Structure 1
Amino acid sequence: MAVAELDLDLDGPDSPDGPVLSFGPALGGPPPGAGDIFALVRLQGRPAATVLGHVRADEDPAEVLTAVFRARKSPYEPPAPAEPVLAAPAPAEPARPATALAAPPRTTVVVATRERAGQLARALDSLLAQDHPDFRVLVVDNAPVTTATRDLVESRYVGRVDYVQEPCPGLAVAHNCGVAAADGTVIAFTDDDVIADPHWLTALTTPFAADPGLGCVTGLILPARLTTSAQILLESHGGFAKGFEPRLYDPASPPADEPLFPFTAGSFGSGANMAFRAEALRAVGGFDPATGTGTPAKGGDDLYAFVRILAAGHRLRYAPEALVWHHHRETWQDLRNQAYGYGAGLTAYLTAILVRRPALLPALLAKLPRGLAHARAITAHRPDPAVESAPGTHGARAHPWPRDLSRLERRGMLYGPLGYLKARVRVRRQARSAALGKPRIRRRAVRGRS
Structure 2
Amino acid sequence: MTAVENVTTSVREAVAHVLDVELSGPIAPVSRTAADGTTANEAWLLVRLDGEPLGWQVVPLPVEGLAVDELQRLLDARWGEEVRRRRARAEGFAERHARHLATASRASVVLCTRERPEALAACLESLTAQDHPDFAVWVVDNAPATSTTKDVVDSFTGRLDIRYVVEPRPGLSRARNRALREPLEGDVVAWIDDDEVADPMWLSELTRAMAERPGADAVSGLVVPAELATRAQLWFEQFGGHSKGRGFTPADFGRGSDDRQNPLYPLPPFGVGANMAFRTASLYAIGGFDEALGAGTLTHGAEDTRAFTDLLRGGGATLYRPSAVTRHFHRRDLAGLRRQMEGYGTGLTAFYTSLVADSPLVLGQLARLAGRALRDLTSSSSLRVSGLADDFPAELLSANRAGMTQGPGAYLRQRRLHQRAARTADAPPAAAAADAAWRPTQVVHWDLDDPPADLGLTPDDAARYGAVLFVTWRPARPVALLTLPIAEALDRATREVALRRVPEAPQAPPRVPTSALPGVSVVIPTVLERPEGLARCLDALLRQEHPPVEVLVVDNRREDSSEQAGAAIPELARPGVRLLRQPVPGISAARNRGVAEAAGEIVAFTDDDVQVDRGWTRALAERFVTEPEVDGAGGLVLPSELQTPAQEVFERHSGGTDKPLLPETYALERPHADTWHPARYRVLVRRAGRVVRSYSLYQLGTFMGANMAFRTAALRAQGPFDEALGTGTPSHGGEDVDMVVRMLSAGRSLGYEPAAVTSHVHRRSDAELARQMSGYGTGFTALLTALVARDPRHLVGLVYAALTVLRSRLGRRDPGVTTLLEGLPPELSRLRVRGMLAGPRAYLRTRRRDRS
Partner of 1:42: 48
Partner of 2:167: 166
Query: For the Cα contact (< 8 Å) 1:222–1:323, is it kept in 2?
Result: yes
User: What residue identity is the alignment partner of 1:111?
Assistant: L
SS at match of 2:234: helix
Counterpart CA distance in 2 for 1:434 and 1:100 is: 51
Query: For the Cα contact (< 8 Å) 1:10–1:66, is it kept in 2?
Result: no
The equivalences for 1:229-378 within 5 A come to 229-241=231-243, 242-251=246-255, 255-256=259-260, 258=261, 260-265=262-267, 267-377=269-379
The answer as to 2:170 corresponding to 1:116 is no
Partner of 1:4: 17
**How much does 1:206 deviate?**
1.4
The equivalences for 1:355-434 within 5 A come to 355-377=357-379, 382-384=384-386, 396-397=388-389, 400-434=391-425
The equivalences for 1:2-41 within 5 A come to 2=14, 3-11=16-24, 15=25, 18-20=26-28, 29=35, 35-41=41-47
User: What residue identity is the alignment partner of 2:248?
Assistant: F
1:204-234 Cα offsets, whole Å, 9 max, x none, are: 1112122221011000000111111211222
Relative to structure 1, is the Cα distance of residues 217 and 348 closer, same or farther in structure 2, using a 3 angstrom cutoff? same
User: What residue identity is the alignment partner of 2:20?
Assistant: D
Relative to structure 1, is the Cα distance of residues 436 and 145 closer, same or farther in structure 2, using a 3 angstrom cutoff? same
**How much does 1:381 deviate?**
6.6
User: Which stretch of the first structure deviates more once superposed, 410-419 or 56-65?
Assistant: 56-65
The equivalences for 1:209-228 within 5 A come to 209-228=211-230
Query: For the Cα contact (< 8 Å) 1:163–1:445, is it kept in 2?
Result: no
Counterpart CA distance in 1 for 2:125 and 2:61 is: 32
Query: For the Cα contact (< 8 Å) 2:289–2:307, is it kept in 1?
Result: yes
Query: For the Cα contact (< 8 Å) 1:351–1:417, is it kept in 2?
Result: yes
1:402-438 Cα offsets, whole Å, 9 max, x none, are: 2111111111111111111111112112222343249
User: What residue identity is the alignment partner of 2:133?
Assistant: P
Aligned residues with identical type, % of pairs: 37
Relative to structure 1, is the Cα distance of residues 76 and 309 closer, same or farther in structure 2, using a 3 angstrom cutoff? closer
Counterpart CA distance in 1 for 2:39 and 2:403 is: 43
Partner of 2:196: 194
**How much does 1:74 deviate?**
8.2
Query: For the Cα contact (< 8 Å) 1:136–1:448, is it kept in 2?
Result: no
Counterpart CA distance in 2 for 1:67 and 1:343 is: 43
**How much does 1:116 deviate?**
0.3
Relative to structure 1, is the Cα distance of residues 437 and 30 closer, same or farther in structure 2, using a 3 angstrom cutoff? same
Q: Point out the structure with max Rg over C-alpha.
A: 2
Counterpart CA distance in 2 for 1:264 and 1:220 is: 19
Partner of 1:89: none
Query: For the Cα contact (< 8 Å) 2:135–2:161, is it kept in 1?
Result: no
Counterpart CA distance in 2 for 1:21 and 1:287 is: 46
**How much does 1:270 deviate?**
1.2
1:21-63 Cα offsets, whole Å, 9 max, x none, are: 799xxxx847868732221100232100112212234444554
Select which of 41, 58, 61 maps to 1:52: 58
Partner of 1:392: none
User: What residue identity is the alignment partner of 2:500?
Assistant: V
1:81-125 Cα offsets, whole Å, 9 max, x none, are: 999xxxxxxxxxxxxxx8753433321111111000110000001
SS at match of 1:125: helix
Query: For the Cα contact (< 8 Å) 1:162–1:445, is it kept in 2?
Result: no
The equivalences for 1:75-224 within 5 A come to 77-78=83-84, 100-102=98-100, 103-157=103-157, 160-181=161-182, 182-224=184-226
SS at match of 1:163: strand
User: Which stretch of the first structure deviates more once superposed, 411-420 or 203-212?
Assistant: 203-212
Query: For the Cα contact (< 8 Å) 1:291–1:297, is it kept in 2?
Result: yes
Counterpart CA distance in 2 for 1:449 and 1:63 is: 54
Query: For the Cα contact (< 8 Å) 1:9–1:20, is it kept in 2?
Result: no
User: Which stretch of the first structure deviates more once superposed, 123-132 or 194-203?
Assistant: 123-132
SS at match of 2:241: coil
Q: TM-score, normalised by structure 1?
A: 0.82
SS at match of 1:400: coil
How many residues align? The count is 413
User: What residue identity is the alignment partner of 2:116?
Assistant: R
Partner of 2:665: none
User: What residue identity is the alignment partner of 1:404?
Assistant: E
Counterpart CA distance in 1 for 2:370 and 2:499 is: 46
Relative to structure 1, is the Cα distance of residues 366 and 198 closer, same or farther in structure 2, using a 3 angstrom cutoff? same
Query: For the Cα contact (< 8 Å) 1:31–1:37, is it kept in 2?
Result: no
SS at match of 1:42: strand
1:232-287 Cα offsets, whole Å, 9 max, x none, are: 2222343223210000112465635x4x4344336223110000000011100010
1:145-195 Cα offsets, whole Å, 9 max, x none, are: 111111221244367321000011111111111122123211111100101
User: Which stretch of the first structure deviates more once superposed, 260-269 or 192-201?
Assistant: 260-269
1:355-395 Cα offsets, whole Å, 9 max, x none, are: 2234544433332322333344599774547xxxxxxxxxx
Relative to structure 1, is the Cα distance of residues 72 and 106 closer, same or farther in structure 2, using a 3 angstrom cutoff? same
Unaligned 5+ segments in structure 2 are 1-12, 90-95, 430-466, 468-481, 485-497, 505-852
SS at match of 1:214: coil
Partner of 1:393: none
Query: For the Cα contact (< 8 Å) 2:165–2:501, is it kept in 1?
Result: no
Relative to structure 1, is the Cα distance of residues 377 and 148 closer, same or farther in structure 2, using a 3 angstrom cutoff? farther
Query: For the Cα contact (< 8 Å) 1:33–1:57, is it kept in 2?
Result: no
User: Which stretch of the first structure deviates more once superposed, 414-423 or 371-380?
Assistant: 371-380
Relative to structure 1, is the Cα distance of residues 448 and 131 closer, same or farther in structure 2, using a 3 angstrom cutoff? farther
Counterpart CA distance in 2 for 1:109 and 1:359 is: 36
Partner of 2:500: 446
Query: For the Cα contact (< 8 Å) 1:7–1:41, is it kept in 2?
Result: yes
User: What residue identity is the alignment partner of 1:334?
Assistant: G
User: What residue identity is the alignment partner of 1:113?
Assistant: T
User: What residue identity is the alignment partner of 1:446?
Assistant: R
Query: For the Cα contact (< 8 Å) 1:221–1:325, is it kept in 2?
Result: yes
Counterpart CA distance in 1 for 2:239 and 2:69 is: 26
Query: For the Cα contact (< 8 Å) 1:352–1:420, is it kept in 2?
Result: yes
RMSD: 3.2
User: What residue identity is the alignment partner of 2:59?
Assistant: G
Query: For the Cα contact (< 8 Å) 2:97–2:205, is it kept in 1?
Result: no
Query: For the Cα contact (< 8 Å) 1:187–1:275, is it kept in 2?
Result: yes
